[in-house]
Structure 1
Amino acid sequence: MHSSDTTPYLIRGWRCLRLALHFVWIGLGAALIYPCVGELRRLRLKQAWSHRILTLLAVKVDAPAIDAPPGCLIVANHISWLDIFAINAVRPAAFIAKSEVRHWPFIGWLSARNGTIFLVRGSRAHAQEINREIDALLDREQDVAIFPEGMTTDGTQVRSFHGALLQPAIETGRPILPLSLSYCDADGRFSLAPSYAGDITLMQCFSAILARRRLIARVRAGAVIATAGKSRRELAAEAHAEISRHLGYTAAPATSSGKHGT
């Protein structure tokens, strides 16, 4: 017997097979189509592919239209590896990831092909180089997304934001777009299934998502934040307040159980 919100194992297996085939298609597209098309077309492909990944996992994106200019620094809270696909499905962007991801089989190659910027943690010189790469993307009016909490949480709170990666928005004068992310089941109840925090392994997280008949990824945009004349600390506080307001939280806890984000 299965509860009404639990997916039978046969359907989970079918989802896995279709997802694997879709990733093969994405890999072929990144290798063969990307070199032949412009940046706008690549962004549209990334958006379509991300939306399809979520659909295959029975995750519906709930996101009202976002009124923001191109070339925003997207700042979001971080719950799961699903966050990347949820944001890309709504507003395709380049992401900042830890350098270790670059060496993951297939995923590292695919991430690099999709414009991911890899950051060596703890290296100030490399952080400056990363900021220059972000500057260049923002100047070309391409969105860049960061998770300034620095790690994933279970979604019940928003940690304090680190402001260092906000510097490119200040240098280029590009606006900051706060995005709040949350997940719920088909009945609108908050769900922990997508959480990739604490001692949860990637496989456990993936299995928990597969086990749900349907999930909803809620993406909400806060007010666009102008960067002129503001410090990184001020911008981090404003973005945190906007995201917390949409999620119904009022303050950032001092500590949280999580994983260092992608």
Structure 2
Amino acid sequence: MAGALAALLLFPCCAERRRLALKARWSKALLAALGVEIDADLEHAAAGVMLVANHISWIDIFVLNAVLPAAFVAKEEVRRWPLIGWLAAKNDTVFLRRGSRGHAKIINGEIAAILAAGKLVAVFPEGTTTDGTHLLHFHAALLQPALSAGRPILPVALSYWEPTGERSLAPRYDGEISLGQCTQAILARRRIIARLRTTPLLGQQGEDRRAVALAARRAILAACSLPVEPESQQDAAAGPIAA
């Protein structure tokens, strides 16, 4: 609720730096209330890049925003979700209408403009969540707007750990797990460590989007301490966003 009021009252009159600071502050406060501690390595972070991250939980967005506040690419349906959709719209979210090539050109332009202004754009190229023990196929088309604009890709690895050093499955929000069940599982732990690792920038040598997606996936697997398995043979160049 505090976040909603701040977005309503403060965002319209805030300078960009203040907006980003508010976004980071809300995110840190929410994670602290949930007992989630952030362990972030931002060695490779840079301005005006596209964050490409693996997706495990609804709290992933807050982990990212706590240290790398960004505009997120979300499906069009999110805009209609109660409160969350309104907050997303107030937070520079780019809404993607799936299957529309005409709309894809507009989205490409919006993303390019955000990156050109030195801001960050974040995508989850798996398109859905996992339990954190593996990665799904990366949809390379989601990376195309950044590559077309000549902006780098920053792979970001997210993983969750128990204080004992074991991987935590509590934050998983996949399959039939509901938002309430996921939140209860997180609150049942006294402390969870959200580990965020940036890896070297990609897409600066004119590589095509499939090559960049494969490289990003491999980098995230390694940074998440997951075994590197062969990528699916599915055509990663296919997708809703065209070059």
TM-score, normalised with respect to structure 2: 0.91
Match of 1:9 in 2: none
Q: Aligned equivalents of 1:63 and 1:93: distance in 2?
A: 16
Unaligned stretches of 5+ residues in structure 1: 1-23, 256-262
1:63 alignment partner, SS class: strand
Q: Aligned equivalents of 2:59 and 2:193: distance in 1?
A: 11
1:123 aligns with 2:90: no
Give the deviation of 1:124 after TM superposition. Answer: 2.4
Give the deviation of 1:62 after TM superposition. Answer: 0.6
Contact kept, 8 Å, 1:72 with 1:142, in 2: the verdict is yes
Match of 1:251 in 2: 229
Match of 2:241 in 1: none
* Cα RMSD (Å): 1.5
Give the deviation of 1:175 after TM superposition. Answer: 0.9
Q: Aligned equivalents of 1:169 and 1:253: distance in 2?
A: 22
- Of 160, 170, 175, which aligns to 2:147? 170
Contact kept, 8 Å, 2:44 with 2:199, in 1: the verdict is no
Match of 2:237 in 1: none
2:41 alignment partner, SS class: coil
Cα deviation digits, residues 209-251 of structure 1 (max 9, x gap): 1111111100001111143411011110111111011122202
Contact kept, 8 Å, 1:117 with 1:130, in 2: the verdict is yes
Match of 2:13 in 1: 36
Contact kept, 8 Å, 1:244 with 1:250, in 2: the verdict is yes
2:10 alignment partner, SS class: helix
Cα deviation digits, residues 143-184 of structure 1 (max 9, x gap): 000000111011110112111111111122111110000011
1:62 aligns with 2:39: yes
Give the deviation of 1:65 after TM superposition. Answer: 3.2
Match of 1:217 in 2: 194
Alignment of 1:94-105 (within 5 A): 94-105=71-82
Q: Which has the larger radius of gyration?
A: 1
Unaligned stretches of 5+ residues in structure 2: 234-243
Give the deviation of 1:32 after TM superposition. Answer: 1.0
1:201 aligns with 2:164: no
Contact kept, 8 Å, 1:97 with 1:116, in 2: the verdict is yes
Q: Give the counterpart letter for 1:250 in structure 2.
A: V
Give the deviation of 1:28 after TM superposition. Answer: 1.3
TM-score, normalised with respect to structure 1: 0.85
Match of 2:65 in 1: 88
Match of 1:237 in 2: 214
1:56 alignment partner, SS class: helix
1:161 aligns with 2:134: no
Q: Aligned equivalents of 1:131 and 1:90: distance in 2?
A: 25
2:173 alignment partner, SS class: coil
Match of 1:8 in 2: none
1:47 alignment partner, SS class: helix
Aligned residues: 232
1:181 aligns with 2:151: no
